Amino acid sequence: MNSHLFYYLPQSKTSQPILDFYLVNTSIAENGNKVKVTINETEFIINKWAAYEISGLKNSENTVRIQLLDKNNELIW
């Protein structure tokens, strides 16, 4: 079975956006698969599932990219 990553970025004009994701047929850990999030060209590596509040955004429009990486930091397709 293939590993999949689904994410949800709710749109709200009243609070900070929340980055939330769901993993299928995989998990993430410090020494295992990871999630790489890029927000306006700044990269973050996540190895623990949680919903994350995104703060400090300066622009009214922002770019968020989320990718599933294997333990060798290679992209999982």
Backbone φ and ψ for 56, nearest 5 degrees, come out as 80, 15
Q: How confident is the model at residue 12 (pLDDT cuts 50, 70, 90)?
A: low
Q: Are 64 and 19 in contact (CB under 8 A)?
A: yes
The dihedral through the CA atoms of 77, 27, 73, 54 has a sign that is positive
Q: How confident is the model at residue 10 (pLDDT cuts 50, 70, 90)?
A: low
- Residues whose CB falls within 8 Å of the CB of residue 32, separated by 6 or more in sequence, listed in order: 47, 71
Query: Which of 12, 13, 16, 9 has the alpha carbon at shortest distance from 57?
Result: 16
The structure's pTM equals: 0.85
pLDDT of residue 11: 66
- Mean pLDDT, range 20-27, rounded to an integer: 92
pLDDT of residue 17: 83
